[in-house]
């Protein structure tokens, strides 16, 4: 790619347009062919935001803060109040010229994504993860470049759907960035480059131990579906439990540095302090032993319990030394520091994700295919959840091919979600030794 501006813009227009044409089955010729030159009027990269909550608002703001000519043209959310709040916050941060979302391009409801996706070149998928597989599948079908948040599913059937769509995205040369932002963070990238300094990785540890997250109590007049959608963190079909929703970041780092995924897992978990009706069905702690094919083990722990130790970090132990991700250094077994990352050169990885994605789209480059690794790290966290819920050894191959699908048959405000409370308002919670995936 050369750096000439107009040439870059032409290439970008061609790339964006060709991706859409290919998706619609209209383009048989190879991508980047001059014969398929896009005759669009300008070089604007249009984005649609699907899921206008905290992270979606942040991601859209970051996309709109890149150097490219990016414009927000459509927004979709299950709830109108969330969409309006997001539009307001983006408008407070971003120049008005970059926001063009009139009333007719604000979409609300379960089918809102289907209306917003066609209007964009790049889509941001930031709903709760339960919806990611169907939203990702649709965006790929329509030939869009994609930024999607982690995790990318909440059950094995969803992981399979994402893997299938990821393969098609690759064929279509659609850039896909997944919000596992440590891959876009300078300290992690520098440690990764030097990982051979610790020899063969024989074991690892990963932590996401903290106080927990928000709760949205039930409001009068809400259907069960609306209540669960508002309080999504506590329902597995939407969230996947915190081992999937948060701890995926740390598990993913270990998979990344290992260059592989576990073959089996076993673990313990439960709820000690999260006992009330507001906490749905998820656990408040998980401790999982993940086994890799080469015999190495990841000990992973995550906890949501107020007033306990806080730690979010990863440690890799090799035959010659250790990588401390939080301290951003590499140390040999005698304690000698072999490498120390210079904190002054740290970046904001949330911004870098978008800087790199939009630069690639603008230059017509196909550079990012994060979906497969995002799906496999999501599956790793689901494997861990299946291990702690059942108390059994869970094998990767069986779990990923199990077809387990925990989603509702129908997405509708009046429809019943897959888990419902008992007469006292409590939800069923997994019991190790009783819950079974056999």
d(CA 358, CA 345): 22
Angle between helices 371-390 and 248-258 (to 10 degrees): 120
> Smallest distance, Å, CB 347 to ligand NAD?
15
Stretch that binds ligand NAD, among 78-86, 267-275, 340-348, 415-423 (CB under 6 A): 78-86
Report the residue number, 143 or 374, with the smaller CB distance to ligand NAD.
374
38 binds ligand NAD (CB under 6 A): no
329-332 and 264-270 beta bridge pairing: unpaired
d(CA 53, CA 289): 33
Phi, psi dihedrals of residue 74, rounded to the nearest 5°: -155, 145
Stretch that binds ligand NAD, among 18-26, 128-136, 293-301, 399-407 (CB under 6 A): 128-136
C-beta separation of 146 from 174 below 8 A: yes
Question: Per-residue x/- marks for ligand NAD, 102-121, CB under 6 A?
Answer: --------x-xx--------
79 binds ligand NAD (CB under 6 A): yes
127 binds ligand NAD (CB under 6 A): yes
Return the residue of 245, 252, 284, 370 that touches ligand NAD, per CB under 6 A. Answer: 245
Return the residue of 8, 11, 13, 53 that touches ligand NAD, per CB under 6 A. Answer: 53
Nearest of 56, 53, 49, 96 to residue 75 by alpha carbon:
49
254 binds ligand NAD (CB under 6 A): no
77 binds ligand NAD (CB under 6 A): yes
Q: Find the farthest-apart pair of alpha carbons in the chain and give their distance in angstroms, rounded.
A: 67
Report the residue number, 82 or 87, with the smaller CB distance to ligand NAD.
82
76 binds ligand NAD (CB under 6 A): yes
C-beta separation of 242 from 209 below 8 A: no
SS (H, E, C) 191-249: HHHCHHHHCCEEEEEEEEEECCCCCCCCCCCCCHHHHHHHCHHHCCCCCCCHHHHCCHH
Report the residue number, 56 or 262, with the smaller CB distance to ligand NAD.
56
149 binds ligand NAD (CB under 6 A): yes
Return the residue of 10, 38, 43, 55 that touches ligand NAD, per CB under 6 A. Answer: 55
210 binds ligand NAD (CB under 6 A): no
Put the strands of the sheet holding 45-50 in their side by side order.
106-108, 70-77, 45-50, 122-125, 145-148, 176-178
212 binds ligand NAD (CB under 6 A): no
Query: Which parts of this chain interact with ligand NAD (CB under 6 A)?
Result: 50-56, 76-79, 82, 110, 112-113, 126-129, 131, 149-150, 179, 181, 229, 245
């Amino acid at each position: 790619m050369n750096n000439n501006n107009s040439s870059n813009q032409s290439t970008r227009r061609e790339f964006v347009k060709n991706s859409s044409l290919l998706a619609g089955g209209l383009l048989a010729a190879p991508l980047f062919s001059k014969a398929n030159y896009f005759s669009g009027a300008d070089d604007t990269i249009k984005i649609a935001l699907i899921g206008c909550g905290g992270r979606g608002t942040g991601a859209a703001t970051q996309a709109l803060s890149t150097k490219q000519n990016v414009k927000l043209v459509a927004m979709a959310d299950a709830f109108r109040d969330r969409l309006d709040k997001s539009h307001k916050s983006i408008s407070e941060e971003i120049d008005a010229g970059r926001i063009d979302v009139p009333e007719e391009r604000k979409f609300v409801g379960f089918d809102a994504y289907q209306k917003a996706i066609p209007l964009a070149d790049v889509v941001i998928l930031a709903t709760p993860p339960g919806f990611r597989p169907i939203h990702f599948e649709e965006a790929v079908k329509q030939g869009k470049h994609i930024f999607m948040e982690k995790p990318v599913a909440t059950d094995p059937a969803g992981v399979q759907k994402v893997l299938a769509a990821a393969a098609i995205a690759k064929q279509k040369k659609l850039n896909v960035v997944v919000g596992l932002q440590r891959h876009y963070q300078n300290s992690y990238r520098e440690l990764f480059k030097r990982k051979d300094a610790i020899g063969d990785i024989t074991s690892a540890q990963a932590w996401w131990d903290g106080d927990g997250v928000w709760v949205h109590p039930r409001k009068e007049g809400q259907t069960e579906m609306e209540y669960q959608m508002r309080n999504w963190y506590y329902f597995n079909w939407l969230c996947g439990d915190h081992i999937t929703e948060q701890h995926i970041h740390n598990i993913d780092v270990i998979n990344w540095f290992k260059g592989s995924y576990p073959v089996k897992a076993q673990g313990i978990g439960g709820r000690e302090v999260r006992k009330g009706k507001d906490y749905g069905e998820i656990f408040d702690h998980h401790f999982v032993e993940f086994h890799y094919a080469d015999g190495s083990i990841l000990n992973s722990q995550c906890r949501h319990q107020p007033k306990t130790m806080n730690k979010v970090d990863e440690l890799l132990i090799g035959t010659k030394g250790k990588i401390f991700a939080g301290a951003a250094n590499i140390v040999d077994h005698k304690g000698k520091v072999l490498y120390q990352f210079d904190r002054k050169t740290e970046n904001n990885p949330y911004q870098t994700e978008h800087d790199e994605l939009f630069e690639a789209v603008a230059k017509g480059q196909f550079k990012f295919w994060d979906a497969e690794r995002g799906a496999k790290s999501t599956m790793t966290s689901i494997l861990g959840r299946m291990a702690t819920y059942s108390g059994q050894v869970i094998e990767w191959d069986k779990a990923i091919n199990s077809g387990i699908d925990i989603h509702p048959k129908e997405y509708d405000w009046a429809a019943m979600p897959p888990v419902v409370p008992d007469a006292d308002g409590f939800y069923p919670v997994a019991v190790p030794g009783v819950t079974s995936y056999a």
